[in-house]
Chains A and B, each alone.
Chain A
């Protein structure tokens, strides 16, 4: 595996392998000094063409725990604002000696394009509406550990609720959850569904209340205010009433079921209850696991020839 661009490029066995590797990374992260020299001398460059504090910090933490050198390239301080093309930016930074680019871009497909212009590994940290593979992996890991599902998600019922059309998280997570055997229901108003959603390996619902009580995992997506501009929704108030997690809805969830959200949350919109009061909320676990999953991905792509105990083999 040279790049991580899309969950669609991974087999179920690949996903299981990364999740098992994540177990080791969790163990490292729990040590008094959570740091190993596995990627010492490797240069990991974060290229965030779109704002994201949590994903960038998570990757940065992951790289540092593996002793990689890290560099942050933020668009606001870069020559991109002076009109430099994506290709020139990549070729220029590559020429400094880079082992991996961690790329966040508002354009779907940008990380795939970048692979043409560098010999470094490219890790997709979210591209447009397309993919966010490490989010999907950390979500799988969170479900796997919290529901004790080390062998896969066969029979697990997961609902993803919200703006599916514009969501890279939805696209990656549907692929990852179904690859591991889960039964996924997508719950959204028709205007927030992608075109030809009938080709997706999911069940479709427009009625959250009808699916709630049978769920093992309720996965809420962020609904953005700008969706109102295109008449996709009448109002956030109406969305909240029809698709938000209210206390009344939370009461219908099965006791062991999980509530997840990729963040940042819109409280009062999709999340109408305080998640701290939901026994099934694993939203902070998702954040914690994000670091370990990203360590696993970095190690998988860059760590050949080293082992996790320490010195290069």
Chain B
């Protein structure tokens, strides 16, 4: 065994903040304290040492669209972004609606060895919204989150049954809230901007109707529902009221939905096309307030790689989605007016609980705990250069932007996956 010591940092976890070294051996934290002995060490001077980040919402594209991303390149991007666990969305080709595909994704992730990849299952077969996916078989194999992300489950009867059936299995249904008949052909937020640009609008009500429906279905069935990528002020209000009623409802928001507005679409640059769309300054304020008061539990990236040629197209022809893994922590630090411990809660231990992986991720940093950790400099500034990202794709909307907060080291099960900002494999 080799004993690795992270020296000179400030630990922040769910139990609080303290200055301490952290010794790791055999995949676990073995000791915390000052001036710990060790065989090797990592410098954490001026840095925060925290539980590894957890992303509830990542598109790894493999199998099916390996030209956009692979499980390996996506895992590397995750590690560089400080993530030790990510939930892989099931809109692959074929979709993750069977044990065979789920096991394939796990196998590729294990081979990559850069991040703990947790495949989500589909709610319906092939995400078609018609027949339930085999929840029981997948749950028995450890799948905890089910979603048709990219599509909302349109049929309320089917969604009711999914919640009822899923409740017995203890799984969480994650909803992409979009009433499809209200967003036919839509490419951007329905508002003043799209009116002038002559682009079909994606109205806020299309999200809010489904948020409301699923909250009420959760009230009816007791089923646990997680609302993906909230984008509107009214959605935040609905979730706030649901939580006040004590319902089993959780929610996430993406960095782009608290940093970018629909006015960017005046460039007609499809890098700004995303689903749900970028909305208004008022929505951003509501999302930030929702994160600050805990209405929105988690920051999730909705990392959605697309190859350049697909984004160099008119807005109605380009696919929606943006990269997110390598910029999320810095955007949260730079843009949110929240104490760092609360930012980390939304990026680590709260999403770990939603993903039901809190036995390994988002743990307190103490002797005996699994060593899934991130070390970052909260003050370091860096500029986003698309060509330097580890993702196979380049579709970041933050190119050229200077952000604050940089990941220095990432430790997965005791092994460094990133040292001094460089991926180790």
The answer to whether A128 touches B198 (Cβ under 8 A) is yes
Residue of B nearest to A107 (CB): B314
Q: Given the interface contacts A85-B309, A113-B268, does A105 sit within 8 Å of B198 by beta carbon?
A: no
B196 is an interface residue with CB less than 8 A from chain A: yes
Q: Which chain A residues border B314 with CB–CB below 8 Å? A: 86, 105, 107-110, 113
**Contact yes or no, A171 B315, CB < 8 A:** no
A127 within 8 Å of B (CB atoms): yes
Q: A171 and B196: CB pair below 8 A?
A: yes
Per-position binary interface string of chain B over residues 288-320, scored 1 when its CB falls under 8 Å from any chain A CB and 0 otherwise: 000000000000000000000100111111000
**Docked complex Cα distance between A127 and B200 (Å):** 13
Partner of A85, one of B267, B312, B315: B312
Which of B4-12, B187-195, B229-237, B413-421 binds A?
A: B187-195
Cα A298 to Cα B99 with chains together (Å): 62
The minimal Cβ–Cβ distance linking A101 to chain B, given in whole angstroms, is: 15
User: Quick check: is B197 within 8 A (CB to CB) of the other chain?
Assistant: yes
Q: Does B199 lie at the interface of the complex (its beta carbon under 8 Å from any beta carbon of A)? A: yes
A168 beta carbon closer than 8 Å to chain B:
yes
Among A178-186, A193-201, A257-265, the stretch in contact with B? A193-201
Decide if A130 touches B195 in the complex (CB within 8 Å).
no
Q: Is the CB of A195 within 8 A of B197?
A: no
Complex contact B315–A130 (CB within 8 A): no
**A131 at the B interface (CB under 8 A):** yes
Q: A87 and B195: CB pair below 8 A?
A: no
Q: What are the residues of chain B within 8 A of A200 when measuring CB–CB?
A: 195
Asked if A112 CB lies within 8 Å of chain B CBs, one says yes
Residues of A close to B184: CB separation below 8 A: 230
Q: Which of A8, A109, A110, A196 contacts B195 (CB 8 A)?
A: A196
Q: Does B52 touch A at the CB level, under 8 Å? A: no
Inter-subunit contact A109/B199 (CB<8 Å):
yes
Q: Contacts of A128 on B, CB cut-off 8 Å?
A: 198-199, 316
Partner of A87, one of B190, B192, B203, B309: B309
Determine whether the beta carbon of A196 is less than 8 Å from that of B198: no
Chain A residues near B190 (CB-CB < 8 A): 195
B268 is contacted by which of A109, A194, A196, A199 (Cβ under 8 Å)?
A: A109
Q: A195: which B residues are within 8 A, CB to CB?
A: 190-192, 194-195, 201, 203
Q: Contacts A113-B268, A195-B201, A196-B191 given: A107-B316 contact, CB under 8 Å?
A: yes
The interface bits of chain A over 122-148 (1 if a CB of B lies within 8 angstroms of the residue's CB, else 0) are 000001111100000000000000000
Name A249-291 residues within 8 Å CB distance of B. Answer: none
Q: Known contacts A171-B196, A195-B201: does B268 contact A108 (CB below 8 Å)?
A: yes
Shortest A22–chain B CB gap in Å is 25
The answer to whether A168 touches B312 (Cβ under 8 A) is no
Cβ-neighbour of B199 out of A87, A108, A196, A230 (below 8 A): A108
Using an 8 Å CB-CB cutoff, how does the interface string of A219-255 with B read, 1 for contact, 0 for none? 0000000000010000000000000000000000000
Q: Is the CB of A87 within 8 A of B197?
A: no
Could you give, for residues 199-229 of chain B, a 1 whenever the CB lies within 8 Å of some chain A CB and a 0 otherwise?
A: 1110100000000000000000000000000
Q: Is the CB of B315 within 8 A of A194?
A: no
A199 touching B195 in the complex, CB below 8 Å, given contacts A87-B312, A107-B314, A108-B268 = yes
State the CA gap A130–B200 with chains docked (Å): 10
CA distance A129 to B200 in the complex (A): 9
B312 touches A196 (CB 8 A): no
Supposing A109-B268, A109-B315 touch, asked if A129 and B199 sit within 8 A by C-beta, the answer is yes
Interface residues of B in 321-369 (CB under 8 A from A): none
Q: Which residues of B contact A131 (CB under 8 A)?
A: 198
Question: What B residues does A171 contact at CB under 8 A?
Answer: 196, 198
Say yes or no: A86-B195 contact (C-beta < 8 A), given A113-B268, A195-B201: no
**Assembly CA distance A113 to B201 (angstroms):** 20
A112 touches B198 (CB 8 A): no
Residues of B near A108 (CB, < 8 A) are 197-199, 268, 314-316
Give the docked Cα–Cα distance between A109 and B270 (Å): 10
Q: Inside 8 A of B312's CB, which chain A residues have their CB?
A: 85-87, 113
CA distance A168 to B197 in the complex (A): 10
Tell me, rounded to whole Å, the shortest Cβ–Cβ distance linking B424 to chain A.
37
Beta-carbon nearest neighbor of A110 in chain B: B314
CA distance A127 to B315 in the complex (A): 12
Please provide the chain A residues from 54 to 111 with a CB less than 8 Å away from any CB of chain B in the complex.
85-87, 105, 107-110
Closest Cβ of chain B: how far from A268's Cβ, in Å? Answer: 28
Scoring A113, A129, A197, A199 by chain B CB atoms within 10 A of each residue's CB, the highest score goes to A113
With the chains together, A8 CA to B196 CA distance in Å?
Answer: 10
In the complex the two chains form, what is the Cα distance from A261 to B418 in whole Å?
A: 65
Output the nearest chain A residue to B316 by Cβ-Cβ distance. Answer: A107
Which of chain B's residues has its CB closest to A165's CB?
B195
The answer to whether A107 and B315 have CB atoms under 8 Å apart is: yes
The digit string for A190-225, where 1 denotes a CB below 8 A from any CB of B, is 000011110110000000000000000000000000
A to B CB contacts below 8 Å, 21 in the list:
A85-B313, A107-B316, A108-B199, A108-B314, A108-B316, A109-B315, A113-B268, A128-B198, A129-B198, A129-B199, A130-B197, A130-B199, A168-B198, A195-B190, A195-B191, A195-B192, A195-B194, A195-B195, A195-B201, A196-B191, A230-B184
8 smallest beta-carbon distances between A and B, as pairs: A109-B268, A107-B314, A130-B198, A129-B198, A196-B192, A108-B198, A194-B195, A199-B192
Given contacts A109-B199, A109-B315, A128-B198, 17 further A-B contacts (CB under 8 A): A86-B314, A87-B312, A107-B314, A108-B315, A108-B316, A109-B268, A112-B268, A113-B312, A127-B198, A128-B316, A130-B199, A171-B198, A195-B195, A195-B203, A196-B191, A197-B195, A199-B192
